[in-house]
A and B are shown apart, each in its own frame.
Chain A
Amino acid sequence: MRDIAIAIYLVLFTQPAWAELIRATLPNGLNVTAEYNAAKDGNPTVLIVHPLLQTRDFSVIVNLSEALISDGYGVLRPTLSLGIDSRRQSLACEAIHNYSMQDKIDEIAFWKDWLDGKSAGPVIGFGHSSGGTLVAMYEDQQQTSAFKSLILLAPVHYGFPGGTGIDPRQMEQAFIDEKEKQPDRLEQYRLSYCKKFTTPRSHYLEFVRWDEAAVTNLLKGIKVHTDVVYGTADPTLNSSWKLLLEQSNIPISYVSGGNHFFSGFAELDMHDVVLDLIDDQI
């Protein structure tokens, strides 16, 4: 019932977003695509990065984009290749994730540069889930601020959730040992919500390094204004992770009842929050 109401809302109160399909070839030769809607009236453009295994067509991203477009903001929604030429489909956890963290950051940089090339004006970095973490990483790697601000929607870390009793450092060391032996060996790991995330050992270590503390520190180090939005029902926001974020004085906006994907009315609330945050940045 609630889903039907949302759909009615989206149809009645959002305008169709006639996006431009952007095809591009990365320096590594992979073809990538994105949808681009130019901003209106000098409004900033939002570069939206989807969660790790999704595409730009992920519904949360699409719906938010349309909301932004509707409000006159420019939106660029790329699909990260994840090592796949012209990727159009989301990837399963068990699929071959033969890409590094940096490969993804480089793709974000590619599209930021593409926006810059379009003289799209100020760009607000937006990422959902792991996309938010990636946007933060990209911004962190820039010597000068790449974005006007960042809005991170339920950003995640790749470390073990708190309370597991396992010392990630020790595990890392063990991985390092293995890596030295067969770094390209494809393995299946528990990563974030994936139980069998399939990736070479070397890549896994890049992911797993970004645990709660690492991400917290990352966010703390971002030079541009960064807003974090969480649903109050997001399971990834466990108590330790939440405590770390709050202790880091990172502004966090909560969407009441929202889960990690802001299902139901929480998605509308999430839109309001995001739009409010962007409005606040202008």
Chain B
Amino acid sequence: MTKSSASGRRPITIMGFSIWAMVSIVIVFTLLVIISYRQIQDAESAFTKQRKLSVARHLAADLAALQEKVEKVAQSYSNADETRQQFHNSQYYLYWRDSRVKDNPAFAPYINRVELYTKRGFPMTSQLSEGFPGQLSLASSFLIQTESDVLYIYHVSRVHGPIKETGMLGFLVIKYNLANLVLTEARLSDIDKATLGFALSVSRINDLIELAAYADFDLLASSDIEDLIGALSNNMITIGMIVPIISIISLVLFTYMMIKPIRNFETLVHELGRQNIEKPASLVFRFDELRNIWRAILDYRELASSMHSDLDEKNKELWELAHHDPLTGCFNRRAFEEDWQHMLGTIEQRRISLAFVLFDCDRFKLINDNYGHNSGDQVLIHISNTIQNNLRAGDRLYRLGGDEFCTILFDSDKAEARAVATRCLTQLDKTDIRELGINEPVRMSIGIAISEGTNSESLHDLQRLADIAMYYAKRPDNQNIAVYDASMLRDSLTLLNNEVITSVYDAISNKEGLQIHYQPIIDLQSNVVHYYEALSRLEHDGKLLYPDVFLPIVQDRFIEAEFDQLVIQHIQRDLGAGRLPAGSGVSINISGAGVTDKQVVAQLGALSEYLDEYHIYIEVTETSLITRLIQASEYLERLRQQGFKISLDDFGSGYSSLGYLTQMPVDCIKFDLSLVQALHKKERKSLVVRSLADMCLKAGYQIVAEGIEDVGLLNTVTGIGFTHAQGYYIGKPDKVPRAPVAT
């Protein structure tokens, strides 16, 4: 890139350059012609001046020769016998003067008159011719005077006798018409004779050469040099006229021969980018160079086309890479962000109904940890394919990161969104995940946010609202699908409450704020408190926060193991302090992450010193146990061997199945509140629960009924055979372990 183009200067056109070049040539030639013409004029002027000087010298020479001529004429007359005759006998002087003078061989037309004067200077006749002096002044040889605007010169010469002894006879005065004399006798080279004049009226001179000083004349126009100068001047003028004409003709020819084809060529090159042209019939290449350029362009186009195709493919690949998740093949977060922004820009200020659906795999981290990343990847691919296959045609599935996917369902309402989500979940459930080497169920939670939006502002919140719904979907009492509604806002606010987050981190980092409340669980055969379930509370600014508020944050921040350790430490202190009644026990809730955490397991193992004095139960949820079944089973089995009891919490709320149950190292099964309460609602479900309880008892498990809030339910579960019961009717959680209110 040149400096000019880099600086943004627009390149000139060939036509512009051609005109500029032609105008420049014309100007330069014109200037040269003018300069040459002026130089020629100066040369001519100098030559003329020089020539005039030369001519003046020649004129002086002419006048000198003329003087000789005049003197010869005078000599001729003086020597003439007839002239001397008059000095002896002037009787017929007038005849001689008027007639005989002309017969002298020296007579010429420029001789106007001749007069003779005596030795004393007096005229020979009283009838003196016009202009002749009445008496001669002998001081000069020539007298010049103007008569009737004609300049005459009177030449005075002495007339001597034929022999020396005779002496001077008198004077001869010849009157000449000066102009005729000069024009006739002088050569007057290069003088325009018509312009010759002498600027004097009356004068006396001794020498005709003196006239040169008074001569005024023009030079003849023609001479070789002047002809040459004239020819040069004419040539300059001709060139000055021809050059612009030639330039214009050249410009026209250049335009016709070069610029027009180049412009056609330019148009053709432009069109070349839009269509496939080899060479249009109308384009005639007058120049081989243009044809070569055209061929080169075609070759270049072919090469460029090839490169363009490659580049398109590369771009496509790059775009694919940039917008698709390499693992699952679905769109990635970048694609989502672009589509989202595009959607926002497209639907701005328009009413639109759409659903933002957020998918999240439950406990995916455990799968990764337990089965390896390869298996985890296979699970993600399976999830992605399943979801994509169950979306509507044209709907895009995005992987936002990790195990989180989303889609945007345009023109979709709440029912349709839920139907799509349900369809996806159903298909996922139908898949035998064991083909992937995963021996536990893979569950998805789906949060949906609907926008029947009035403007784009509501759309901006969709992702956040779907996120809120997602957390709702993950709650045990939900069906893994939650559509956001306003009631979720409070919880969402809680989720996002900084005070809660601060409290959680204060408890873990600063060991502050955590309280353990103990709720009694009675042995239904003895009606005594068999042990207490340790329930976590966080105190913040005098208020207590319950697990439903802070556990989601703990789970979301993946600090479950840390939190479990904190709880264990607290219980360990209480056990060490003897705050629990002797002979009773304590059940500790351990998270899914904690049950596979070595430190947590080790810390639990440290409580074994209290096994002799207390019953210590480790409560894990069936979900956490199933997602980490192998490793969790290993650790829990090790704890059982040490004397700990394993309690399966919230049985019936999640993936629990009898098949899994048999594989779990469990001593005690805590029936979920929904199961227990079902004993009072529907006969069929109650029957199932009773049979289940019976089956568990027969299998040797202790079974605990949660949610016992009245005596009727207590009697029911007692009648069924539950070994233990827990609920507000029996005793509420308290910082200090207390005996049941009523047994």
Give the B-binding residues of A (Cβ under 8 A).
Answer: 23, 29-31, 83-89, 91-92, 94-96, 98, 184, 186, 198, 200
Contact = CB atoms under 8 A, between A and B. Distances in A.
Interface string B503-519: 00000000000000000
Given A94-B99, A186-B92, A86 B85 contact: no
B166 A31 contact: yes
B99 A84 contact: no
B92 A94 contact: no
Contact of B82 (A31, A96, A184, A186): A96
Interface in B680-717: none
Contacts of A86: 84, 161-163, 166
B149 interface: no
A95 to B, nearest CB: 5
Given A84-B81, A95-B100, A98-B89, 19 more contacts: A23-B163, A29-B88, A30-B88, A31-B163, A83-B88, A83-B89, A84-B84, A85-B87, A85-B166, A86-B166, A88-B81, A94-B99, A94-B100, A95-B85, A96-B82, A96-B95, A98-B85, A98-B91, A198-B95
A95 B166 contact: no
Contacts of B163: 23, 31, 86
- The 7 A-B residue pairs whose C-beta atoms are closest, nearest first, are A86-B162, A84-B85, A84-B81, A89-B81, A96-B92, A186-B92, A87-B81
Interface in B131-172: 161-163, 166
Given A87-B81, A91-B81, A98 B92 contact: yes
A91 B84 CA distance: 13
B130 interface: no
A85 B88 contact: yes
* Majority secondary structure, B binding face: helix
Given A23-B163, A91-B82, A198-B95, A84 B100 contact: no
A31 B162 contact: yes
15 contacts: A83-B88, A83-B89, A85-B88, A86-B162, A88-B162, A89-B80, A89-B81, A91-B82, A94-B103, A95-B100, A96-B92, A96-B95, A96-B96, A98-B85, A200-B92
Interface in B347-373: none
A83 B161 contact: no
A95 B81 CA distance: 10
Nearest to B102: A94
A174 to B, nearest CB: 22
B91 A92 contact: no
B598 to A, nearest CB: 168
Contacts, number: 57
Interface in B77-110: 80-82, 84-85, 87-89, 91-92, 95-96, 99-100, 103
A87 B84 CA distance: 9
B609 to A, nearest CB: 186
Interface residues on B, range: 10 to 19
Nearest to A86: B162
Contacts of A95: 82, 85, 100, 103
B162 A85 contact: yes
Interface string B460-501: 000000000000000000000000000000000000000000
Contacts of B99: 94
Contacts of A30: 88
B103 to A, nearest CB: 6
Nearest to B95: A186
Nearest to B99: A94
Contacts of B85: 83-85, 95-96, 98
Contacts of A87: 81
Contacts of A85: 84-85, 87-88, 161-162, 166
Contacts of A29: 88
A98 B91 CA distance: 9
Contacts of B82: 84, 91, 95-96
A198 B96 CA distance: 11
A198 B92 CA distance: 10
A51 to B, nearest CB: 16
Interface centre among A30, A86, A184 (most CB of B within 10 A): A86
Nearest to B169: A85
A92 B99 CA distance: 12
Contacts of A88: 81, 162
Contacts of A84: 81-82, 84-85, 88
B166 A184 contact: no
B103 A92 contact: yes
Nearest to B83: A84
Contacts of A184: 91
Contacts of A92: 103
Contacts of A94: 99-100, 103
Contacts of B81: 84, 87-89, 91
A54 to B, nearest CB: 12
Interface centre among A83, A84, A200 (most CB of B within 10 A): A84
A260 B588 CA distance: 193
A96 B166 CA distance: 22
Contacts of A31: 161-163, 166
Contacts of B166: 31, 85-86
A22 B667 CA distance: 202
Contacts of B87: 85
Nearest to A92: B103
A165 B37 CA distance: 83
Contacts of A198: 95
A200 B88 CA distance: 17
Interface centre among A31, A95, A186 (most CB of B within 10 A): A95
A42 B19 CA distance: 117
Contact of B100 (A23, A83, A96): A96
Contacts of B92: 96, 98, 186, 200
Nearest to A28: B88
Nearest to A90: B81
A98 B89 CA distance: 9
Contacts of B96: 96
A85 B166 CA distance: 10
A92 B95 CA distance: 14
Contacts of B91: 98, 184
A85 B169 CA distance: 11
Contacts of A89: 80-81
Contacts of B103: 92, 94-95
B209 to A, nearest CB: 32
A87 B100 CA distance: 16
A198 B233 CA distance: 65
Contacts of A98: 85, 89, 91-92
Contacts of B100: 94-96
A94 B91 CA distance: 16
Contacts of B84: 84-86
Nearest to A87: B81
A96 B81 CA distance: 11
B659 to A, nearest CB: 175
Nearest to A93: B103
A57 to B, nearest CB: 13
Interface in B36-82: 80-82
A200 B91 CA distance: 10
A200 B92 CA distance: 9
Interface string B177-213: 0000000000000000000000000000000000000
A99 to B, nearest CB: 10
A204 to B, nearest CB: 14
A241 B145 CA distance: 59
B169 to A, nearest CB: 9
Interface centre among A85, A86, A91 (most CB of B within 10 A): A85
